Amino acid sequence: MHAFAHSGEDEAFRSELCAWLAAHLPAEAVPEAEAERHRFLRAWQRTLAAGRWVGVHWPREHGGRAASLQEQIIYTEEMARVRAPAILDPIAVNIVGPLLIRYGSEAQRARLLPPILPGDEVWCLGFSEPGAGSDLASLRCRAERDGDAWVVSGQKVWSSKAHIADWCLLLVRTDSDAVKHRGISCLAVDMRSPGITWRPLVQLSGRSEFNELFLDEVRVPPANTIGPVNGGWPLVRAALAHERGTLWAFEFKIRLQNAAQALVDLYRRRGIGALRQDVAQAYIEAQIFAAHTLRILPRLHDAADAPPEAALQKLFGSEIQQRTCELAMALLGPDGALSGAAWQEAYLYSRSVTISSGTSEILRTLLAERALGLPRG
């Protein structure tokens, strides 16, 4: 049962999308090799953009469809139903683009938005640092004004796709005397600028989608400052609201439900009775998570800032994902190292999900303070 009643217009939207997917969905699988995979995903994103099926939540004047919450749900459902490939650059579409639309200048929107939807220019995020991850306001990467430029020096880490990115949405400290939540500015930095180097971080799965970024006196035009100088913290919160927002929440709901069903199917094949209750518990948790997602979607959709419910979804969703993958590996036993490649990679990747977008410890603190009103420790 859907938590939302779909109108005739919603179903017309679904029919249009289904017809388009039937005509354009790639028949071939996504390649495994990184360079080939990037070419494939860029071509697929460009095809989607030509049909106006990327960034459906963007305003029409910027190439989107101004999709309603119901239409965004339909879009996510149908893309999952046909197992459509991912796009090359969800960071730009779901985080950078909405940020520029809301806070960018007219000149910034005119230059930076058009290449995003077709994947012509790729973005990475320069948020986390070795000493400022979940406590992002402690960032130390600094930008100092020198005549007609910001001069940026510092280090960033966990920057997805920095090795292929054209632009970086970079958070820097522009006032070292201000309290830590102030004195932060947001810059759009050309990744071809002199002084930028990167180093890949190899994951347990063998992939290298994350990178360390090093900035050594990188000169950035002041016109590339997004929003007010020293007023970047509200932009950070808005970016996190999009990252943990409507589309992410609903996509994660579908992924967890699919993983829970796959776990049940695996249990039926392996038949390890000692794990029956654990598998049932994981399946129940995924269904409860799905129901809770549908209940809070309107709040996530309407929020300009990240509400406590977004932290709740990320916290429990990531922990349910870890438990599901752990159970799958227990069911596979020694075979998991030989024939369980999909579950094996999912298990290895799941170790990171309670860290990315805020660690479980930080999110529990946030919920205690903002949702329960408990005093700061």
CA atoms within 13 Å, Cβ hemisphere of 211: 20
What is the enclosing helix (H) or strand (E) of 226? strand 225-226
Which residue of the set 71, 78, 129, 243 is catalytic? 243
Q: Which CATH superfamily is domain 8-88 in?
A: Acyl-CoA dehydrogenase/oxidase, N-terminal domain (1.10.540.10)
Give residue 1's pLDDT: 39
Burial profile 113-145: b = 16 or more Cβ within 10 angstroms, e = fewer: bebbbbbeebbbbbbbbeebbbebeebebbbee
CATH, domain range 123-230 = 2.40.110.10
Phi, psi for residue 61 in degrees, rounded to 5: -65, -15
Architecture of domain 244-371: Up-down Bundle (1.20)
Give residue 302's pLDDT: 61
Give residue 202's pLDDT: 82
The whole model's pTM is what? 0.85
Task: Report whether 121 contacts 166 (CB < 8 A).
Answer: yes
Task: Report whether 92 contacts 63 (CB < 8 A).
Answer: no
Going from N- to C-terminal start, the domains of the chain cover: 8-88, 123-230, 244-371
Give residue 294's pLDDT: 82
| pLDDT (tens digit per residue) in 120-156 | 999 999 998 988 766 777 899 999 999 999 999 999 9
243 is catalytic: yes
Judged on CB neighbours under 10 Å (0-12, 13-18, 19+), 295 is exposed
Gap between the Cα atoms of 351 and 343, Å rounded: 13
**Beta strands, E only, 83-160:** 123-126, 142-146, 149-156
Give residue 207's pLDDT: 75
Going residue by residue through the chain (377 aa), what tens digit of pLDDT does each one get?
345 567 888 999 999 999 999 999 999 999 988 899 999 999 999 999 999 999 999 999 999 999 998 898 899 889 988 989 999 999 999 899 999 999 999 999 999 999 999 999 999 999 989 887 667 778 999 999 999 999 999 999 989 899 999 999 999 999 988 887 889 999 999 999 999 999 998 877 677 788 999 999 999 999 999 999 999 988 877 776 655 555 567 778 888 999 999 999 999 998 788 899 999 999 999 999 988 888 877 776 665 566 777 788 888 899 999 999 999 999 998 877 766 578 888 898 888 888 877 788 888 988 898 888 888 86
